[in-house]
Amino acid sequence: MSPAEIIDGTGPILLICDHAANSVPPDIDLGIASALLVKHIAIDIGAADVTRALATILGAPAILATVSRLVIDLHRPVDHPGLVPIESDGHAIPGNVAADRTALIARFHAPYHRAIAALIAQHRPRLLASIHSFTPALETGSAPRPWQIGVLYNRDTRAARAAIDLFGAAGVITGDNQPYSGRVLNVTLNRHGEANGIPSFAIELRNDLIDHSDGVVEWAGVIAPVLTTIAEAGQAA
């Protein structure tokens, strides 16, 4: 099982979807009910569909993870306690208690990030855009999350600031480093964007907006011109 699905493209934007899939390899037993695999703890609901729609609209290359974040979270550093989660939003993942982290890193995490690096070397993108989704409220208890889109970033704010302004001008309820901060968790873009001097930001979409085909079409249509404007106007130069 390859850890990544690659979509060919020639545009100046590289799309990344770290939590695109809820697949669990047949030789891995998480010890959970299959119903949990359709929840946000296993997959960023709608994110893969939006990424594919954006790739089509923009003619952009894209990379999508093919393994559930409950097997190994590709958007975590290798020493993070949640890399191979034993609990997520109140749900125990007992099969991971004795998981071989080193083997999982070698099998999924390392080749996934090598694949991103290879795409960057091949396409030399001017902008990296990472597509995620978030649940309207955590099961373990949280205030409702009102944002339609969150723009997440760490030290490099070039593209993110432009995106926040553009989404705001379009009437989108936009979170500035919400529903969580990219200064706390920005692993993929820290490694492949900031470390290479490539402007980047993550988009978090509230998953009830994109858990159906009409929503995917609508929000891909909202996001695509924002990405194009940033790349073409020199915001990502």
Q: Per-domain residue ranges for the chain? A: 4-232
pLDDT-derived band at 149 (thresholds 50, 70, 90) equals very high
Residue-averaged pLDDT of the chain: 95
- What count of residues does the chain have? 237
Q: What is the pTM of this model?
A: 0.95
Average pLDDT over residues 178-183: 94
The torsion angle over the Cα atoms of residues 214, 220, 221 and 227, rounded to 10 degrees, is 170
Beta pairing class for 91-92 and 62-65:
unpaired
Beta pairing class for 149-152 and 200-206:
antiparallel
Question: What value does the CA radius of gyration of the chain take, rounded to a whole number of Å?
Answer: 17
Give yes or no for a contact between 120 and 127, defined as CB atoms under 8 angstroms apart. no
Q: pLDDT by residue (tens digit) across 80-138? A: 999 999 999 999 999 999 999 999 999 999 999 999 999 999 999 999 999 999 999 88
Q: Where are the beta strands (DSSP E) in the chain?
A: 4-7, 13-17, 62-65, 87-88, 91-92, 127-134, 149-152, 174-176, 200-206
More confident site: 53 or 11: 53
Q: pLDDT by residue (tens digit) across 188-212? A: 999 999 999 999 999 999 999 999 9
Architecture of domain 4-232: 3-Layer(aba) Sandwich (3.40)
- 3-state DSSP assignment of residue 81: coil
Has residue 1 got a pLDDT over 80?
no
